Amino acid sequence: MPNNTNNFSLELNPNVSVDCVIFGFDLEQLTVLLIDRGEISSGFGPRLALPGNLIYDNENLDMAANRVLDELTGLKSIYLEQVGAFGDPDRIHKQSDQAWLKSIRAEPEARVITVAYYSLVPMSKYKPQASSFAKNAYWVPVSQINELAFDHYEILQAAKGKLKQKIKIQPIGFNLLPTKFTLSQLHRLYESILDKPLDKRNFRRKILKINILSSLREKQRGVPHKPSLLYEFNEEKYQELTQTGFDNFGF
């Protein structure tokens, strides 16, 4: 909770919320962090939602997104980027959502515009801990999600759209993969962001050509197949390309 040391009142603004799309990767599929709203919404509609809530009048939008994510899932100090604002007048007026809002909000009927944020994090380092009105919080493969509370499905798709755009001009992976990874895992990551199969040999050639990977003198252990060579990102070159962008290599 923010402390009340400035001139603004410590009140939730009834009209503005933030929602967070936190992407992870389980080495097979792109995942997203969702909260379970619990029994009160069951029987009516989806129990799962993006972590989100109203903003306080004394915090800016970035602060609000970080606070809400922490309050609901325990994830702290995540670098969040804006997806955009979502403001359909009907976005919170489904019956199931209204039943739930009545149980947690002072003005459940108020028009709410939400500002969505997204981030890429290494799943293995972030074990969500649900609290506040989240009954549970966990990682769900994006491809398994068909509906979510409010307009959160639409927000999720928009965030994924941003990711698809970004992958064309910036390297992606550093924040989603463990420190050491195989080229197959990186290949799967790109496939699951782009939602299409990518030719394995072409992918390897292109990704090695941009020169952001260092191959290690080390192989996978304890895998039920022929162990693959491990790689890590050359952090300096990776960060450089993340800043400046690179040639779209035509995925």
User: x/- contact string, 132-171, with a copy of itself (CB under 8 A)?
Assistant: ------------------------------------xx--
Backbone angles phi, psi at 70, to 5 degrees: -65, -50
The reply on whether position 199 binds a copy of itself by CB under 8 A is no
Nearest-10 Cα torsion for 141, 147, 148, 152: 90
Kindly tell me which of 59 and 97 has the beta carbon lying closer to a copy of itself. Answer: 59
Residue 16 in contact with a copy of itself, rule: CB under 8 A:
yes
Q: Which stretch binds a copy of itself (CB under 8 A): 38-46, 57-65, 96-104, 172-180?
A: 57-65
Cβ neighbours of residue 167 closer than 8 Å, sequence gap 6 or more: 190, 193, 194, 251
Cα(20)–Cα(81) distance, integer angstroms: 9
Continuous H helices in the chain: 61-73, 95-104, 152-169, 183-194, 200-209, 235-244
Indicate which single residue of 1, 3, 5, 60 sits in contact with a copy of itself (rule: CB under 8 A): 60
Exposed e or buried b per residue across 40-77, where buried means at least 16 C-beta atoms within 10 angstroms of its C-beta: bbeeebbbbbbbbbbbbebbebeebbbbbbbbbbebee
Pick from 184, 181, 237: nearest CA to 209: 237
| Residue of the chain from 55, 163, 172, 177 that contacts a copy of itself (CB under 8 A) | 55
Indicate the helix (H) or strand (E) that contains 12: strand 12-25
The C-alpha atoms of residue 92 and residue 204 are separated, in whole angstroms, by: 45
Selected from 20, 59, 66, 155, the binder of a copy of itself by CB under 8 A is: 59
Judged by CB under 8 A, the stretch of 7-15, 26-34, 137-145, 183-191 that binds a copy of itself is 7-15
Phi, psi of 48 (to 5 degrees): -90, 145
Q: Which is nearer to a copy of itself, 86 or 203 (CB)?
A: 86
Q: Which of 57, 154, 191, 232 touches a copy of itself (CB under 8 A)?
A: 57
Q: Cα separation of 28 and 200, whole Å? A: 15
Among 20, 34, 115, 230, binds a copy of itself (CB under 8 A): 115
The smaller minimum CB distance to a copy of itself, of residues 61 and 145, is found at 61
- Residues 222-251 as x/- pattern, contact with a copy of itself by CB under 8 A: -----------------------xxxx-x-
The residue within the footprint of a copy of itself, chosen from 38, 74, 87, 178 (CB under 8 A), is 87
Number of residues that bind a copy of itself (CB under 8 A): 30
Query: How far is it, in rounded angstroms, from Cα 16 to Cα 12?
Result: 9
Residue ranges in contact with a copy of itself by CB under 8 A: 6, 8, 13-16, 55, 57-61, 64, 82, 84-89, 111, 113, 115, 168-169, 245-248, 250
